[in-house]
Chains A and B, each alone.
Chain A
Amino acid sequence: MAAPRSTPNRAGRMVVNAAAYAVTVFLLLPTLIIIPMSVGPERFLRFPPAGFSLRWYAEYFRDPDWLAATLFSLEVALLTALCATAIGTMLALALVRGRLPGRGLVELLVVGPVIVPHVALAVAMFLVFERLRLTGTLLGFTMAHTVLALPFVVFTVLAALYRFDAQLERAALSCGAGRFATFRHVTLPLIAPGVVSAALFAFIISFDEPVVSFFISALDRKSLPRKMFEDIDYNISPTLAAVATMLTALTVLALLLGFVLKRAAERRAAARSG
Chain B
Amino acid sequence: MRKLEADRSAGSIAIEGLVKRFGRVHAVDGVSLDIRAGEFLALLGPSGSGKTTILMAIAGFEYPDEGRVLLGGEDITWLPPNRRNLGMVFQRYTLFPHMSVLENIAFPLKMRGVGRAEREERARGALRTVRLEQMGERSPAQLSGGQQQRVAIARAIVYRPRVLLMDEPLSALDKNLREEMQIEIKHLQREIGITVVFVTHDQTEALTMADRIAVLDQGRLQQLGAPRELYEAPQTEFVAGFIGETNFWAGAAAAAAAPGEALGVQLDGGVVMPALAASPVPAGGRVRLALRPERLRIVAGGGEGVPARVTEAIYAGNATTLMLETAGGQTLRLRIPAGTGLPEAAAGEAVTLSWQAADARAFAVRS
What is the interface of chain A, defined by CB distance below 8 A to chain B? Answer: 165, 167-168, 170-179, 181-182, 185-186, 189-190, 268, 270-272, 274
Complex CA gap A274/B80 in Å reads 31
Which residues of B lie under 8 Å from residue A179 when comparing CB positions? 82
Residue contact B155 to A175, C-beta cutoff 8 Å: yes
Residue contact B111 to A181, C-beta cutoff 8 Å: yes
Pick from A170, A190, A271: contact of B139, CB below 8 A: A271
Which residues of A lie under 8 Å from residue B111 when comparing CB positions? 172, 175-178, 181
Pick from B90, B91, B108: contact of A176, CB below 8 A: B108
Given the known inter-chain contacts A167-B90, A174-B59, A271-B139, please indicate yes or no for A185 contacting B107, CB distance below 8 A: yes
Which residues of B lie under 8 Å from residue A174 when comparing CB positions? 59, 81-82, 86-88, 156, 165
Residue contact A171 to B88, C-beta cutoff 8 Å: yes
Q: A-B pairs with the 8 shortest C-beta distances?
A: A271-B141, A175-B108, A174-B88, A171-B94, A176-B111, A173-B81, A177-B111, A173-B82
CB distance from A258 to the nearest CB of B (A): 20
CB distance from B150 to the nearest CB of A (A): 15
Residue contact A168 to B94, C-beta cutoff 8 Å: yes
Which residues of B lie under 8 Å from residue A272 when comparing CB positions? 97, 141
Closest to A192 in B: B98
Pick from B81, B98, B107, B156: contact of A170, CB below 8 A: B81
Which residues of B lie under 8 Å from residue A168 when comparing CB positions? 94, 96
Residue contact B94 to A170, C-beta cutoff 8 Å: yes
Closest to B86 in A: A174
**Is B112 among interface residues, defined by CB-CB distance under 8 A?**
yes
Which residues of A lie under 8 Å from residue B83 when comparing CB positions? 176
Interface CB pairs A-B, < 8 A, 6: A170-B90, A174-B88, A174-B165, A190-B96, A268-B97, A271-B140
**Is B330 among interface residues, defined by CB-CB distance under 8 A?**
no
**Is B238 among interface residues, defined by CB-CB distance under 8 A?**
no
Residue contact B141 to A190, C-beta cutoff 8 Å: no
In B74-117, the 8 Å CB interface with A consists of: 80-83, 85-88, 90-92, 94-98, 107-108, 111-112
| Contact mask for chain B residues 38-77; partner A; CB cutoff 8 A; 1 contact, 0 none | 0000000000000000000001110000000000000000
Known: A165-B94, A271-B97, A271-B139. 12 other contacts (CB 8 A): A170-B81, A170-B90, A171-B94, A172-B107, A173-B60, A174-B87, A174-B156, A176-B82, A177-B82, A181-B111, A182-B82, A272-B141
| Contact mask for chain B residues 149-193; partner A; CB cutoff 8 A; 1 contact, 0 none | 000000110010000010000000000000000000000000000
Complex CA gap A227/B155 in Å reads 59
Closest to A182 in B: B82
Complex CA gap A181/B83 in Å reads 13
Complex CA gap A20/B90 in Å reads 48
